[in-house]
A and B are shown apart, each in its own frame.
Chain A
Amino acid sequence: MSAVLSIRDLAVRFATPDGEVPAVNAFSLDLAAGECVGIVGESGAGKSQSFLAVMGLLAGNASVSGSARLGETELLGNDRNALNAVRGSKLAMIFQDPMTSLTPHLRVVDQIGESLMRHRGFTKAQARSRALELLRLVQVTDAERRLDQYPHELSGGMRQRVMIAIALACDPDVLIADEPTTALDVTIQAQILALLAQLKRERGMSMVLVTHDLGVVAGIADRVVVMYGGRIVEHGSVKDILVSPQHPYTRALLASMPRIDEVGNAPLQAIGGQPPNPRRLPTGCAFHPRCALATERCAAEAPLLSVASGRGVACHFPIRGGEHD
C-alpha cells in the first residue's frame, strides 16, 4: 500500500532563552489513501507540533529535522512558494478554535473562495457557486445567506463547518484535523464527527485526527498513534489500541477516563503525577515516574519503538497476552 503522506524521523525543537526544548522526537507515520489515523495524547505530548511541522506552520524559534513527503513533494525545509503550492490544494488543516482561525473581516464566501481562485484559477463567480456547494456539503443551514456573513455572525459549530468547507475546497488528498471538536458542545461535536466520517467514506479522503479524547478516535479512526513526552509510545489498529493496549500509559489513560456507559461510582483509576514538561523530560522512558510497572531499567534506558504485526509499542515491559478487562 502506498502512503499519501509519509513522515520519517520527524524532530521538532524550540530555541528558548532557557535552552533548547525538544517537542517531538523520532516521529514516523505512513498515512494510506482513504485512511484515518488518530493521534492521541495529553498537552505537551507533541501531537499538534508534529503536524504544524508538516504544514510548515511552526513558530519562528522552531527547528525541524527528518522528512515528510506528500506524494513526491518534500514538505520539511521546503521554501514558502513550494509549500504554498501544496497547502490548501493537496494538504489542508482545520484547527481547534474556529473563531481565531477564520479571518474576522472577510465574508465566508471570500474565505472559501480564496484557495479556489489561487490554486484552481476559478473566477469570482465560479468560486461563489462552488462555495455554496461546499457549504451545503458540510450541512450549513441556510447556506445562501451564510455566504455573505462574517465569522462573528455564526455559531461555533457553524464556524467549524465553514472551516471544514475551506479545507475541502480544493479536494485535498490529506486533511489534518487538529482537535476539531474540542471547543464545541457535545451534540455539535457528534454532528461534526459524523460529517468527517461521511467525508472520509464518500470521498475516500485521508485524514489525520489529532485529539486528546479516546472516545473521538473510536468512532472514526482506522489506526491510532499514542504520544507521550514528544514520542510515539504505541500505535496500532483502533481495536488493538482501545481493546488490548500494550503500553502501560495507553492502558492507564483508558482506565482513567470515566465512561458514559459505566454504572456505579467506583473511584477512577487516576494516573498519579502529571504529564511531563518537555523542558525537563525524565530520563529513560518519559512515563516511568508515573508507571506502576516501572523498574530501574525504565529510568535508565529509553525503550525503542518495536514494531510487530502492524502494531508498535515503546516499552521494556509491554502488557501482552492477558486481554484488557
Chain B
Amino acid sequence: MTEPLLRIRDLRVWFPVGAALFGKPAQLRAVDGVDFDLQAGEALGIVGESGCGKSTLARAILRLVPSTAGKIVWMGQSIEAYSTRQVRPLRRDLQIVFQDPLASLDPRMTVGEIVAEPLRVHAPELSKAERRERVADILRRVGLSPDVINRYPHEFSGGQCQRIGIARAMVLRPKLLVCDEPVSALDVSIQAQIVNLLQDLKRDFGMSILFVSHNLAVVRKLCERVLVLYLGKPMELAPTEMLYSDPRHPYTRGLLAAVPIPDPAVQPSRLGTALGGELPSPLEMAPTFDEVSAQHQVACWRWQEK
C-alpha cells in the first residue's frame, strides 16, 4: 500500500479541568487513543454524539488545538510538534469548512475578499488578475455567480454562505478538506444541495475529506469509510457499507437504530429499540480495537456474539 496522506496513531487530546487552587486538575479525555489512515482521495466519516470528541479530533489534526500525545503524520512528516510557523505552509493543503455558515465568514469582508484571502496568504505570487480569475472560477464551481464578489455575507442565505465557506476552503485546491458538521445548520432541502456539491467537488478535484457529523444518513452518502467515536475512544472503523449493514459494536448498532426513517411501515416499531440511559462522562477504561477483518476494526469485548 502507498504511504497514506494522513496517518493518525494513538492520538490523545486531554484538557485539564476543574483545578482547585494548588490542586491537580482532572484530565478530560476529549480524544483518547485514535488510530486511522486516510488515503488520498478518500472520504472518512467521523460520527458520534455530542462530546464524543469528533470535532476536537478534527481540530487536533489541523493543529488548531494542541494534542497531548500520539502522532499526526501528514504526507510522511510528523507534524504534531510543529510550531505555528512550521504549520502555516501546510495549511495550503489542509482546509476546513465549519458548521455555522454565517458565523464563520467575516461580516466586514466582501465575498470576493473572503474567498481571495487564502490566495493572498498562500499564493502571493499571483497577480491581481490571476487571483480574480481563480476566485471567479471557484465561485462558479460551488454554484455561485462571480457577480457576488462585491456583496457581504449577511446578504446571503445559510446555504449560500456555506457555499462561500466551501469556496474559501477549496480555492487553494487543498489535498484534505475537513468538514465539521457542514450541513447541520441548514434546512433539509438545502442540506441535499451541499451534500451533492461536496460529492461533485470530491469527484472533480480528488481531495480527501474528513467529514465530521452526527448525521449518519449523510455520512453514508458521502464517505467510503466511517469511524465511530464514543467518549473520545474509537468504537468501530469500517468501510461504509460494512458498517451500516453489519455493525459489530453494540454502540454502533444503537446509534444506527436511533436514526428515524421516514416510512410509517417501519419507523413505529423502531421506536424504543435504541440505547437507553444518558451519555456518561469520559472516565472508564474501554476495550481496545480488535480486527474483524483487515478493513474492519471494533472495540468491544463481545463483538463475536451476534
Cβ of B271: which chain A residues have Cβ within 8 Å of it? Answer: 190, 193-194, 197, 219-220
Contact B187 A274 (CB under 8 A): yes
Contacting residue for A213 out of B222, B260, B275, B276, CB 8 A: B260
Contact B221 A186 (CB under 8 A): no
- Residue interface bits B244-287, CB-to-A below 8 A is 1, else 0: 11000000001111111111111110111111111100000000
Cβ of B64: which chain A residues have Cβ within 8 Å of it? Answer: none
Interface majority SS (helix, strand, loop, mixed), chain A: helix
Contact A187 B195 (CB under 8 A): no
Whether a CB of chain B sits under 8 angstroms from the CB of A267 is: yes
If A187-B254, A215-B261 touch, whether A258 touches B268 (CB-CB below 8 Å) is no
Q: A residues 211-246 with Cβ under 8 Å of B?
A: 212-220, 238-239, 242-243
Whether a CB of chain A sits under 8 angstroms from the CB of B191 is: yes
Segment at the interface with B among A73-81, A167-175, A249-257, A312-320: A249-257
Contact A258 B258 (CB under 8 A): no
Cβ of B263: which chain A residues have Cβ within 8 Å of it? Answer: 218, 242-243
Cβ of B259: which chain A residues have Cβ within 8 Å of it? Answer: 186, 215, 260
Whether a CB of chain B sits under 8 angstroms from the CB of A148 is: no
If A42-B187, A158-B278, A187-B274 touch, whether A238 touches B264 (CB-CB below 8 Å) is yes
Which of A242, A263, A265, A271 gathers the greatest number of chain B CB atoms within 10 Å? Answer: A265
Contact A259 B217 (CB under 8 A): yes
Cβ of A253: which chain B residues have Cβ within 8 Å of it? Answer: 188-189
Whether a CB of chain B sits under 8 angstroms from the CB of A270 is: yes
Whether a CB of chain A sits under 8 angstroms from the CB of B190 is: yes
If A42-B187, A197-B268, A256-B191 touch, whether A186 touches B262 (CB-CB below 8 Å) is no
Whether a CB of chain B sits under 8 angstroms from the CB of A129 is: no
If A185-B49, A187-B49, A268-B196 touch, whether A43 touches B262 (CB-CB below 8 Å) is no
* A60-B103 Cα distance, complex, nearest whole Å: 28
Contact B279 A185 (CB under 8 A): yes
Whether a CB of chain B sits under 8 angstroms from the CB of A155 is: yes
Chain A: which residue is nearest B269 at the CB level?
Answer: A219
- Residue interface bits A257-283, CB-to-B below 8 A is 1, else 0: 111111101011111101100000000
Whether a CB of chain A sits under 8 angstroms from the CB of B50 is: yes
Contacting residue for B217 out of A42, A197, A238, A257, CB 8 A: A257
Whether a CB of chain A sits under 8 angstroms from the CB of B292 is: no
Contact A190 B257 (CB under 8 A): yes
Contact A260 B256 (CB under 8 A): yes
Contacting residue for B278 out of A157, A216, A238, A268, CB 8 A: A157
Give the A-B contact count at a CB cut-off of 8 A.
154
CB distance from B71 to the nearest CB of A (A): 30
* A217-B262 Cα distance, complex, nearest whole Å: 7
* A216-B215 Cα distance, complex, nearest whole Å: 14
Cβ of B216: which chain A residues have Cβ within 8 Å of it? Answer: 186, 260
* A164-B51 Cα distance, complex, nearest whole Å: 24
Contact B264 A186 (CB under 8 A): no
CB distance from B205 to the nearest CB of A (A): 17
Whether a CB of chain B sits under 8 angstroms from the CB of A100 is: no
Interface size of B by Cβ–Cβ distance < 8 Å? Answer: 51
CB distance from A98 to the nearest CB of B (A): 14
Contact A215 B267 (CB under 8 A): yes
- Residue interface bits A27-69, CB-to-B below 8 A is 1, else 0: 0000000000000001100000000000000000000000000
Cβ of A188: which chain B residues have Cβ within 8 Å of it? Answer: 278-279
If A258-B217, A267-B196 touch, whether A219 touches B275 (CB-CB below 8 Å) is no
Which of A218, A242, A271, A272 gathers the greatest number of chain B CB atoms within 10 Å? Answer: A218
Contact B258 A190 (CB under 8 A): yes
Q: B residues 190-219 with Cβ under 8 Å of A?
A: 190-193, 195-196, 199, 214-218
Contact A274 B188 (CB under 8 A): no
If A193-B271, A274-B157 touch, whether A218 touches B262 (CB-CB below 8 Å) is yes
Whether a CB of chain A sits under 8 angstroms from the CB of B112 is: no
Whether a CB of chain A sits under 8 angstroms from the CB of B122 is: no
If A258-B221, A275-B187, A275-B189 touch, whether A219 touches B268 (CB-CB below 8 Å) is yes
Cβ of A42: which chain B residues have Cβ within 8 Å of it? Answer: 187-189
Which of A191, A220, A243 gathers the greatest number of chain B CB atoms within 10 Å? Answer: A191
* A126-B50 Cα distance, complex, nearest whole Å: 37
Which of A213, A261, A271 gathers the greatest number of chain B CB atoms within 10 Å? Answer: A261
24 A-B residue pairs with CB within 8 Å: A155-B279, A157-B278, A187-B274, A190-B275, A193-B271, A197-B268, A217-B262, A218-B268, A239-B265, A243-B263, A257-B188, A258-B220, A259-B261, A260-B217, A260-B261, A261-B261, A262-B217, A268-B196, A269-B192, A270-B189, A270-B195, A274-B159, A274-B187, A275-B187
Q: Which A residues are closer than 8 A to B by beta carbons?
A: 42-43, 141, 155-158, 185-191, 193-194, 197, 212-220, 238-239, 242-243, 252-254, 256-263, 265, 267-272, 274-275, 290
| Closest 9 A/B residue pairs (Cβ) | A215-B260, A190-B274, A270-B192, A218-B267, A190-B258, A214-B262, A268-B192, A256-B192, A219-B267
* Besides A186-B255, A239-B265, 17 new A-B residue pairs in contact (Cβ under 8 A), listed by A number: A156-B50, A186-B258, A187-B49, A191-B274, A193-B260, A194-B272, A197-B268, A197-B271, A215-B260, A219-B268, A239-B264, A243-B264, A258-B192, A259-B262, A260-B256, A267-B196, A269-B192
